[in-house]
């Protein structure tokens, strides 16, 4: 990650935090606002961080994955459904039900990853089309099952939307969360914590382990890897499934940690923004996380500014309109992709099926 | 003399081709055994079988007398076979150490142990006189050093049998001599080497034994003492080959191309062509000799409108052509046979008739008021296919179905059927069979005799020496000398290609 | 290999053997419907009843036919939009946003222009302006990612997707704000009705089949002609197949990229405009949802050829139209259509699956379309 990009990220984050502090300055001390922003940012960045990790594993091994959005959506649905099934039909307690849900979500993501792998590696389908297939399938299947299972009178729940087991509880990290004021940002839900840990773990795996070296080799020059005895297609399969599982965990965030319900298309483009974060982070986990933080921060701004609706000076009233702030991540993504803020180098062999 | 490696009756088929037809080959300890044949003879296929990259459809392999089955390169490596491919199997963005350890990584717990590997590499490289820096990024290394990395890679895996596939394709004559020195050093320590090439002079310089392949079969084995170039060439091609092309005296006229102080930058903003100046006159062939990677590609791109020059001037037929578009240049008499025919020269999925009007589709008679005229396009295709002897079932088949030689003929047909002043031919015969090579050489001389100026850029010294009237040498982006062909010898050119300068006077 | 061409056995430019390429798409549809039938079965329904209901709903009566063409019209145009971008070597995933903004722009001109000019405008001026506004908006919306790709190499897949979300936000803002229907009982995010002079009339009394369908088919023919009979079309196709060779051939690849996207967006915008002027007579939030991905499936099923796109669009239109009747008769949710369409796309994309199932031998190779994110 070069200096230009770090500075840009830092600059934007400072601005975003600054707006909140300024607007709420009259009622709340800055430190409280900053802590609140950090806590919210870390939480909302979770699907983006996990999504970009998913993208990194796939692309580093040479498979372009624009189906992360679909993988997240499918996992969100099935994870949610798994939790409800355990809780309502099998009578399990809420917390274990939700954990089962998370597992189901991860598994679902892995299966969607397997689908992409089969299409891209075995059938050598154009990878962007493969990703589109995943996305369309996700929308169709989740839409259909959502209606069939929950809203039809002959569905599993007799047409009545069952009570969901809830959302995963916040974990109070000992010592750190007890610090006055600042401690609030150390109380996070499990998937959020897992995401942060995974960023660093994955960074280590990609750059400092045997698996990472071989994966990167397969994504840069698969023939070279083949000549030293590495099974290129097998590596790609496994990496894409890992990516799918990470996307699955991101899906679990939506329906088991963020809100206890499923809405069609609820992922709302975050799978695609993850890809932008990945590109801007130059295919490095920590880099992508830093880029994702920018998006997360703008999202957090949108959320936090709701609390100060009355305080906003007239000139900034338009900020209230969620549509305006809502456009920021997307515009930022496009700006990033122009490459004006630093050049990025994709894995050299991506998007090309390997032929012996 | 014990046999370390033996291949018996190897058969390998690909769709439509019998690449290896019951091939027998053996290698003795400590020898340099050359496998000779022209492009497409089946040499690389055989070696890929011996390295476990391909599975043979028939036959068997024995290492030190023991039958083995190579399911993958891993198995071959385990039996002591190492291979240095023609196109390097190195990952540019990795370091030397990372490339060398890939696949046989040393780890401390879960983490890669880069330090230990680096130390071992230093030790090996000093032992064999192959200095490489373990921590350098491969993409920053010159080609000769990258090749050494490949050799160290094989030695790191304890290779006793080393296969070198066309290693000198990317080296200057001096670098090639260096390589031969290293090879002898290795054989003196018990390593056995299979050396694949199609260059006759190297064969005689370095081999202990020579096996010649042609069209998938072994034609015969001999030694340098028994066979000379002519005999080897005849064995390679199956008939007597005129190694010289018939050509009369050149009758040069006015300059059709004048290049003054041209500099060109590559995509990394590095100046790869540094202020070159030269002229090509009508009715002559100016050959630019030089090992690939010294700026020839960018020079050709600048002259044909594919890359904007950074400085200097280009004049085509008297008028300014610096930085003009390809279309302008084509309309002003430029023809270009590109280096990479499948990338720049043809649209493989298009039928031949579309490929034949690729540059002229917007002009009459192929296009009137923006609308394509199919009748004219098709008539043109029929005529050119016949005139240039393109072997294809019809002019409507996709170009991808043609052989390399015929694809090149399509390009030649397209470019040479226009009225042209200057032909820029960049590596025009790379990867082609001898028949196609002869054909293209004839066409180049024909155009020259018709009064066209020809700029021939080639890494094949023989081609340059055969066809050129004057020869320029390019080294590190500069023209180090321009001399009449009569005065040029392989030795002189080799020195110039490696950076020496001519003595004045 | 064979001898050089003889004068007597002159081969032809077109041979009917090419139509064998149709086998794959047809079999893909068939297989998808079979798998879809299995899904219906698993969800507790009767696949035969479902498909019969769908067929009846799509073609059973004259009204059904009319409705099918109504559905097919935007599909044809959206599918053509994706197809022309593909031909230019680009993936336009932004049809959704371009179509929406086309609808919004058409609605604006439809209701806003008479108000602006202070009186009614003759239809012969108003209608083309309305439709033109839609095409312009869509074209512009697509040209922006096109320019970003040509100038910076920014990959059009993500950029067009981003433009979709921006368009969504923009439309929400407009339809909840400045463009909101001010009539007293209205709480919905929608525009006022457009003036009569901006409406496309139906072809026959009582049916919704409108001139837009004819227009769409004509545009398909026009597109075919441009792509294969003009020098511009040659340039677009060549740049889309092999940009390097195209540069060589003197084609200005940056220009073709922008033009392909511009045309693509204009077609998408036209689809949106026609929906407004011929069907809904206003634009409401959510009206144009879902066309984007459908368009991709339609274009690929039609092998990105205008004729194929028309037929695929009619098929998809039939399925969407028939699904309502199917749901009415069998209680199977219409969302099953999305599943079937995804399956169709799956089988078309991975045609190797179809080949294996039905033992068809393969012919030509495939052309690489993109190069990852490197641009």
Give per-residue pLDDT as tens, C110-151. Answer: 888 888 888 888 888 888 899 999 999 999 999 999 999 998
Lowest model confidence (mean pLDDT) among B37-46, B230-239, B367-376 = B230-239
Please report which confidence band the pLDDT of residue B302 belongs to, taking 50, 70 and 90 as the band edges: very high
In chain C, residues with a C-beta closer than 8 Å to the C-beta of B394 are 5, 11
Give per-residue pLDDT as tens, C69-82. Answer: 888 999 999 999 99
- Put simply, the answer to whether A223 touches B98 (Cβ < 8 Å) is no
Bigger pLDDT: C313 vs A299? C313
Please report which confidence band the pLDDT of residue A18 belongs to, taking 50, 70 and 90 as the band edges: confident
Q: What is the mean pLDDT of chain B?
A: 86
Please report which confidence band the pLDDT of residue A48 belongs to, taking 50, 70 and 90 as the band edges: very high
Question: C245 in contact with B at a CB cutoff of 8 Å?
Answer: yes
How far is B335 from chain C, CA to nearest CA, in Å? 11
Closest C-alpha to B462, from B255, B233, B251: B233
Three-state SS string over chain A comes to CCHHHHHHHHHHHHHHHHHHHHHHCCCCCHHHHHHHHHHHHHHHHHHHHHHHHHHHHHHHCCCCCCCHHHHHHHHHHHHHHHHHHHHHHCCCCHHHHHHHHHHHHHHHHHHHHHHHHHHHHHCCCCHHHHHHHHHHHHHHHHHHHHHHHHCCCCCCCCCCCCCCCCCCCCEECCCHHHCCCHHHHHEECHHHHHHHHHHHHHHHHHHHEHHHHHHHHHHHCHHHHHHCCCCHHHHHHHHHHHHHHHHHHHHHHHHHHHCCCCCCCCCCCHHHHHHHHHHHCCCCHHHHHHHHHHHHHHHHHHHHHHHHHHHCCHHHHHHHCHHHHHHHHHHHHHHHHCCCCCCCCCCCCCCCCCCC
Q: Note whether C37 and C47 are within 8 A (CB).
A: yes
- Put simply, the answer to whether A227 touches B89 (Cβ < 8 Å) is yes
Please report which confidence band the pLDDT of residue C289 belongs to, taking 50, 70 and 90 as the band edges: confident
**Shortest CB distance from A140 goes to which of C164, C170, C341?**
C341
Distances (CA, A) of B429 to B338, B411, B463, C187: 10, 12, 9, 74
Q: Note whether A221 and A352 are within 8 A (CB).
A: no
The answer for C 199-258 residues in CB contact with A (under 8 A) is none
Question: C250 in contact with B at a CB cutoff of 8 Å?
Answer: yes
- Put simply, the answer to whether C245 touches B344 (Cβ < 8 Å) is yes
Minimum CA–CA partner of B345 in chain C? C245
Kindly tell me if the per-residue pLDDT of A320 is higher than 70.
no
Question: C367 in contact with B at a CB cutoff of 8 Å?
Answer: yes
- Supply the angle between the helices A285-304 and A3-24 in degrees, to the nearest 10: 20
| pLDDT confidence of residue C224 | 94
* Rounded average pLDDT over A69-83: 94
Distances (CA, A) of C345 to A71, C26, C31, C341: 17, 12, 11, 6
Kindly tell me if the per-residue pLDDT of C9 is higher than 60.
no
- Put simply, the answer to whether B53 touches A226 (Cβ < 8 Å) is yes
Give per-residue pLDDT as tens, A107-125. Answer: 999 999 999 999 999 988 8
Kindly tell me if the per-residue pLDDT of C371 is higher than 50.
no
Q: Note whether B167 and B151 are within 8 A (CB).
A: no
**Choosing among A206, A214, A216, A224, which should be mutated to test the B contact, i.e. which has the most B CBs within 10 A?**
A224
| pLDDT confidence of residue C10 | 61
Lowest model confidence (mean pLDDT) among B96-110, B233-247, C46-60 = B233-247
Question: C368 in contact with A at a CB cutoff of 8 Å?
Answer: yes
- Put simply, the answer to whether B53 touches A220 (Cβ < 8 Å) is no
How far is A222 from chain B, CA to nearest CA, in Å? 9
Q: Which H helix or E strand runs over B491?
A: helix B490-497
Q: Note whether B292 and B305 are within 8 A (CB).
A: no
ipTM above 0.95, yes or no: no
**Shortest CB distance from B326 goes to which of C10, C228, C250?**
C250
Kindly tell me if the per-residue pLDDT of B494 is higher than 50.
yes
**Choosing among C245, C363, C364, which should be mutated to test the B contact, i.e. which has the most B CBs within 10 A?**
C245
- Put simply, the answer to whether C13 touches B344 (Cβ < 8 Å) is no
| pLDDT confidence of residue C201 | 77
Q: Note whether B167 and B179 are within 8 A (CB).
A: yes
Task: Count residue pairs from A and C with Cβ separation < 8 A.
Answer: 149
Most confident of A21-35, A99-113, C293-307: A99-113
DSSP state of B346: -
Kindly tell me if the per-residue pLDDT of C305 is higher than 80.
yes
- Put simply, the answer to whether A226 touches B73 (Cβ < 8 Å) is yes
What DSSP assignment string belongs to C122-174?
Answer: -HHHHHHHHHHHHHHHHHHHHHHHHHHHHHH---HHHHHHHHHHHHHHHHHHH
| pLDDT confidence of residue A308 | 67
Tokens of B461: 């010294």
Rounded Cα–Cα distance for residues B149 and C260 (Å): 46
Bigger pLDDT: A170 vs A245? A245
Please report which confidence band the pLDDT of residue B505 belongs to, taking 50, 70 and 90 as the band edges: very low
CA A285, chain centre distance (Å): 12
- Put simply, the answer to whether B371 touches C1 (Cβ < 8 Å) is no
Rounded Cα–Cα distance for residues A354 and A124 (Å): 8
Give per-residue pLDDT as tens, B153-204. Answer: 998 988 899 999 988 877 777 778 888 888 998 898 889 999 998 777 788 8
Rounded Cα–Cα distance for residues C340 and C47 (Å): 12
Residues with Cβ < 8 Å from A147, sequence gap 6 or more?
C333, C335
| pLDDT confidence of residue B488 | 82
**Shortest CB distance from B306 goes to which of C4, C247, C252?**
C247
How far is A334 from chain C, CA to nearest CA, in Å? 6
In chain C, residues with a C-beta closer than 8 Å to the C-beta of A139 are 293, 338, 342
Rounded Cα–Cα distance for residues B43 and B164 (Å): 11
Please report which confidence band the pLDDT of residue C368 belongs to, taking 50, 70 and 90 as the band edges: very low
Bigger pLDDT: A40 vs C139? C139
**Choosing among B362, B401, B418, which should be mutated to test the C contact, i.e. which has the most C CBs within 10 A?**
B362
The answer for C 90-129 residues in CB contact with A (under 8 A) is 91, 93
Tokens of C53: 């209901």
Kindly tell me if the per-residue pLDDT of A305 is higher than 90.
no
How far is B362 from chain C, CA to nearest CA, in Å? 6
Q: Note whether C200 and C277 are within 8 A (CB).
A: yes
| pLDDT confidence of residue C366 | 39
Closest C-alpha to A61, from A355, A348, A356: A348
Minimum CA–CA partner of C170 in chain A? A323
Closest C-alpha to C47, from C37, C55, C57, C39: C37
In chain B, residues with a C-beta closer than 8 Å to the C-beta of A220 are 91-94
- Put simply, the answer to whether A227 touches B53 (Cβ < 8 Å) is yes
How far is B338 from chain A, CA to nearest CA, in Å? 24
Rounded Cα–Cα distance for residues B140 and B145 (Å): 10
Lowest model confidence (mean pLDDT) among A74-88, C26-40, C85-99 = C26-40
Q: Note whether A99 and A194 are within 8 A (CB).
A: no
DSSP state of C202: B
- Put simply, the answer to whether A213 touches B51 (Cβ < 8 Å) is no
* Rounded average pLDDT over B475-502: 78
Rounded Cα–Cα distance for residues A324 and A320 (Å): 8
Residues with Cβ < 8 Å from C23, sequence gap 6 or more?
C358, C360
Q: Note whether B411 and B338 are within 8 A (CB).
A: yes
Residues with Cβ < 8 Å from C106, sequence gap 6 or more?
C130, C131, C133, C134, C137, C194, C198, C272, C273, C276, C277, C283
Lowest model confidence (mean pLDDT) among B150-154, C5-9, C149-153 = C5-9
* Rounded average pLDDT over B116-128: 89
Bigger pLDDT: C270 vs C337? C270
Residues with Cβ < 8 Å from B125, sequence gap 6 or more?
B131, B132, B148, B152
Rounded Cα–Cα distance for residues B374 and B392 (Å): 20
Tokens of B7: 């291949």
Please report which confidence band the pLDDT of residue C192 belongs to, taking 50, 70 and 90 as the band edges: confident
| pLDDT confidence of residue C367 | 37
- Put simply, the answer to whether A228 touches B73 (Cβ < 8 Å) is yes
Residues with Cβ < 8 Å from C130, sequence gap 6 or more?
C106, C109, C110, C113, C194, C198, C273, C276, C277
Kindly tell me if the per-residue pLDDT of C370 is higher than 80.
no
DSSP state of C181: -
Kindly tell me if the per-residue pLDDT of B439 is higher than 80.
yes
Q: What angle do CA C294, C347, C157 make, to 5 degrees?
A: 45
By percentage, how much of chain C surpasses pLDDT 70? 90
| pLDDT confidence of residue C330 | 81
- Put simply, the answer to whether B349 touches C1 (Cβ < 8 Å) is no
Question: B338 in contact with C at a CB cutoff of 8 Å?
Answer: yes
Q: What is the mean pLDDT of chain A?
A: 86
By percentage, how much of chain C surpasses pLDDT 90? 34
**Shortest CB distance from A210 goes to which of B77, B90, B105?**
B105
In chain C, residues with a C-beta closer than 8 Å to the C-beta of B350 are 238, 241
How far is A15 from chain B, CA to nearest CA, in Å? 34
| Phi and psi angles of residue B275, each rounded to the nearest 5 degrees, phi first | 60, 55
In chain B, residues with a C-beta closer than 8 Å to the C-beta of C252 are 325
Q: Note whether C53 and C322 are within 8 A (CB).
A: yes
| pLDDT confidence of residue B499 | 66
- Put simply, the answer to whether A330 touches C166 (Cβ < 8 Å) is yes
**Shortest CB distance from B103 goes to which of A208, A220, A229?**
A229
| pLDDT confidence of residue A90 | 84
Chains contacting chain A through 3 or more C-beta pairs under 8 A: B, C
Bigger pLDDT: B391 vs B240? B391
- Asked whether the bond before B365 is cis by omega within 30 degrees of 0, the reply is yes
Residues with Cβ < 8 Å from B165, sequence gap 6 or more?
B43, B44, B47, B83, B84, B85, B86, B196
By percentage, how much of chain A surpasses pLDDT 70? 93
Q: Note whether A69 and A135 are within 8 A (CB).
A: yes
**Choosing among B394, B415, B418, B424, which should be mutated to test the C contact, i.e. which has the most C CBs within 10 A?**
B394
| Radius of gyration (C-alpha) of chain C in whole angstroms | 22
Rounded Cα–Cα distance for residues C175 and C105 (Å): 12
Q: Note whether C177 and A86 are within 8 A (CB).
A: no
Please report which confidence band the pLDDT of residue A180 belongs to, taking 50, 70 and 90 as the band edges: confident
- The size of chain B, in residues, is 505
Question: B332 in contact with C at a CB cutoff of 8 Å?
Answer: no
Closest C-alpha to A81, from A157, A136, A170, A140: A157
CA B474, chain centre distance (Å): 17
Task: Count residue pairs from B and C with Cβ separation < 8 A.
Answer: 96
Kindly tell me if the per-residue pLDDT of C194 is higher than 70.
yes
**Shortest CB distance from A144 goes to which of C44, C170, C339?**
C339
| Phi and psi angles of residue B220, each rounded to the nearest 5 degrees, phi first | 170, 165
Bigger pLDDT: B424 vs B292? B424
- Put simply, the answer to whether C335 touches A143 (Cβ < 8 Å) is yes
Chain A residues near any Cβ of chain B (below 8 Å): 204, 208-210, 213-214, 216-217, 220-221, 223-231, 345, 348, 356
**Shortest CB distance from B73 goes to which of A210, A220, A229?**
A229
Q: In what order do the strands lie in the sheet with B58-63?
A: B17-28, B3-14, B58-63, B66-68
Question: C335 in contact with A at a CB cutoff of 8 Å?
Answer: yes
Kindly tell me if the per-residue pLDDT of C7 is higher than 50.
no
Question: C41 in contact with A at a CB cutoff of 8 Å?
Answer: no
Lowest model confidence (mean pLDDT) among B189-198, C94-103, C285-294 = C285-294
How far is B154 from chain A, CA to nearest CA, in Å? 10
């Amino acid at each position: 990650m070069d200096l230009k990009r770090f500075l840009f990220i830092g600059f934007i984050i400072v601005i975003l935090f600054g707006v909140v502090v300024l607007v709420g300055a009259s009622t709340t001390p800055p430190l409280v606002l900053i802590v609140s922003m950090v806590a919210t940012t870390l939480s909302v960045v979770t699907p983006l961080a996990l999504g970009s990790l998913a993208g990194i594993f796939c692309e580093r091994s040479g498979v372009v994955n624009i189906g992360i959005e679909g993988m997240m959506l499918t996992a969100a649905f099935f994870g949610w459904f798994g939790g409800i099934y355990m809780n309502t039909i099998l009578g399990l307690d809420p917390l274990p039900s939700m954990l089962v849900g998370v597992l189901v979500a991860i598994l679902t993501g892995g299966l969607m990853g397997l689908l992409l792998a089969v299409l891209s590696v075995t059938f050598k389908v154009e990878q962007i089309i493969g990703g589109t297939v995943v996305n369309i399938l996700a929308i169709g299947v989740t839409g259909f099952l959502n209606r069939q299972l929950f809203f039809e009178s002959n569905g599993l729940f007799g047409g009545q939307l069952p009570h969901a087991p809830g959302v995963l509880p916040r974990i109070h990290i000992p010592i750190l969360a007890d610090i006055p004021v600042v401690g609030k940002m150390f109380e996070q839900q499990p998937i959020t914590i897992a995401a942060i840990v995974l960023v660093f773990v994955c960074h280590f795996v990609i750059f400092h382990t045997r698996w990472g070296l071989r994966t990167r080799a397969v994504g840069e020059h698969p023939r070279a890897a083949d000549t030293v005895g590495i099974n290129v297609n097998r590596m790609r399969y496994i990496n894409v499934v890992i990516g799918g599982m990470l996307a699955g965990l991101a899906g679990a965030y939506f329906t088991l940690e963020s809100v206890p319900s499923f809405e069609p298309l609820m992922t709302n483009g975050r799978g695609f923004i993850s890809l932008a974060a990945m590109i801007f982070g130059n295919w490095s986990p920590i880099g992508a996380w830093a880029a994702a933080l920018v998006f997360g921060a703008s999202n957090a701004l949108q959320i936090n500014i709701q609390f100060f609706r009355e305080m906003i000076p007239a000139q900034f009233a338009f900020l209230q309109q969620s549509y305006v702030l809502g456009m920021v991540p997307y515009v930022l993504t496009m700006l990033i992709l122009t490459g004006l803020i630093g050049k990025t180098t994709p894995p050299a062999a991506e998007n090309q099926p390997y032929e012996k | 003399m014990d046999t370390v490696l033996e291949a018996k009756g190897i058969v390998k088929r690909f769709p439509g081709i019998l690449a290896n037809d019951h091939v027998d080959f053996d290698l003795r300890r400590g020898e340099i055994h050359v496998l000779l044949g022209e492009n497409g003879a089946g040499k690389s296929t055989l070696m890929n079988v011996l390295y476990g990259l391909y599975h043979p459809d028939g036959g068997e392999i024995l290492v030190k007398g023991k039958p083995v089955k190579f399911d993958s390169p891993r198995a071959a490596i385990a039996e002591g076979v190492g291979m240095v491919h023609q196109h390097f199997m190195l990952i540019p963005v990795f370091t030397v150490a990372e490339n060398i350890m890939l696949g046989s990584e040393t780890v401390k717990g879960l983490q890669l142990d880069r330090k230990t590997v680096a130390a071992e590499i230093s030790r090996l490289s000093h032992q064999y006189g192959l200095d490489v820096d373990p921590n350098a990024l491969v993409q920053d290394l010159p080609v000769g050093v990258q090749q050494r990395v490949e050799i160290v890679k094989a030695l790191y895996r304890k290779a006793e049998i080393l296969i070198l596939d066309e290693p000198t394709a990317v080296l200057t004559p001096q670098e090639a001599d260096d390589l031969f020195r290293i090879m002898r050093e290795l054989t003196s320590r018990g390593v056995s080497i299979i050396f694949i090439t199609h260059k006759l002079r190297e064969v005689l310089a370095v081999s202990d034994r020579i096996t010649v392949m042609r069209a998938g079969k072994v034609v015969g084995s001999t030694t340098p003492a028994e066979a000379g170039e002519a005999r080897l060439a005849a064995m390679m091609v199956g008939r007597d080959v005129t190694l010289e092309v018939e050509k009369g005296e050149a009758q040069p006229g006015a300059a059709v191309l004048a290049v003054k102080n041209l500099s060109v930058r590559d995509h990394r903003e590095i100046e790869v062509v540094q202020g070159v100046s030269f002229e090509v006159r009508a009715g002559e062939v100016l050959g630019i000799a030089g090992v690939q990677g010294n700026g020839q590609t960018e020079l050709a791109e600048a002259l044909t409108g594919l890359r904007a020059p950074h400085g200097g001037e280009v004049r085509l037929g008297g008028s300014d052509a610096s930085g003009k578009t390809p279309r302008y240049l084509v309309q002003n008499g430029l023809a270009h046979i590109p280096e990479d025919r499948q990338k720049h020269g043809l649209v493989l999925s298009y039928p031949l008739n579309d490929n034949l009007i690729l540059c002229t589709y917007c002009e009459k008679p192929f296009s009137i008021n923006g609308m394509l005229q199919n009748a004219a396009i098709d008539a043109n295709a029929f005529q050119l296919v016949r005139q240039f002897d393109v072997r294809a079932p019809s002019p409507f088949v996709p170009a991808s179905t043609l052989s390399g030689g015929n694809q090149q003929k399509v390009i030649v047909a397209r470019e040479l059927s226009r009225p042209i002043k200057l032909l820029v031919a960049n590596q025009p015969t790379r990867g082609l069979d001898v028949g196609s090579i002869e054909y293209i050489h004839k066409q180049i001389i024909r155009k020259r005799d018709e009064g066209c100026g020809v700029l021939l850029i080639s890494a094949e010294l023989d081609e340059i020496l055969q066809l050129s009237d004057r020869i320029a040498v390019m080294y590190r982006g500069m023209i180090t000398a321009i001399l009449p062909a009569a005065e040029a010898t392989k030795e002189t050119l080799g020195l110039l290609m490696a950076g020496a300068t001519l003595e004045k006077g | 290999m064979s001898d050089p061409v003889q004068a007597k056995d002159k081969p032809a430019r077109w041979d009917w053997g090419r139509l064998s390429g149709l086998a794959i798409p047809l079999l893909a549809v068939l297989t998808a419907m079979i798998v879809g039938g299995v899904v219906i079965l698993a969800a507790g329904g009767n696949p035969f009843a479902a498909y019969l209901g769908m067929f009846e709903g799509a073609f059973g009566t004259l009204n059904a036919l009319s409705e099918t063409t109504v559905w097919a019209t935007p599909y044809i145009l959206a599918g053509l939009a994706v197809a022309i971008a593909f031909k230019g070597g680009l993936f336009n995933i932004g049809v959704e946003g371009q179509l929406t903004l086309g609808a919004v722009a058409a609605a604006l001109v439809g209701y806003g222009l008479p108000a602006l000019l202070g009186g009614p405008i003759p239809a012969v001026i108003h209608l083309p302006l309305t439709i033109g506004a839609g095409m312009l908006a869509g074209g512009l919306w697509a040209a922006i990612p096109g320019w970003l790709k040509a100038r910076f190499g920014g990959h059009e897949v993500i950029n067009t997707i981003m433009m979709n979300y921006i368009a969504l936000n923009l439309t929400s803002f407009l339809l909840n704000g400045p463009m909101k229907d001010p009539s007293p009982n209205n709480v919905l995010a929608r525009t006022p009705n457009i003036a009569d002079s901006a409406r496309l009339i139906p072809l026959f009394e009582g049916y919704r089949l409108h001139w837009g369908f004819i227009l769409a088919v004509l545009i398909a023919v026009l597109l075919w002609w441009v792509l294969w009979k003009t020098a511009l079309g040659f340039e677009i196709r060549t740049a889309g197949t092999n940009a390097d060779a195209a540069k060589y051939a003197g084609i200005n690849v940056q220009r073709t990229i922008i033009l392909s996207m511009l045309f693509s967006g204009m077609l998408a915008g036209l689809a949106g405009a026609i929906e407004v002027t011929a069907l809904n007579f206003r634009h409401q939030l959510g009206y144009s949802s879902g066309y984007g991905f459908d368009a991709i499936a339609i274009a690929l099923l039609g092998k990105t050829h205008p004729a194929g796109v028309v037929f695929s669009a009619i098929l998809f239109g039939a399925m969407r139209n028939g699904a309502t009747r199917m749901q009415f008769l069998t209680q199977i949710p219409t969302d099953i259509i999305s599943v079937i369409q995804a399956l169709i796309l799956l089988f078309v994309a991975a045609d190797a699956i179809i080949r294996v199932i039905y033992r068809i031998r393969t012919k030509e190779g495939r052309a690489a379309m993109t190069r990852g994110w490197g641009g």
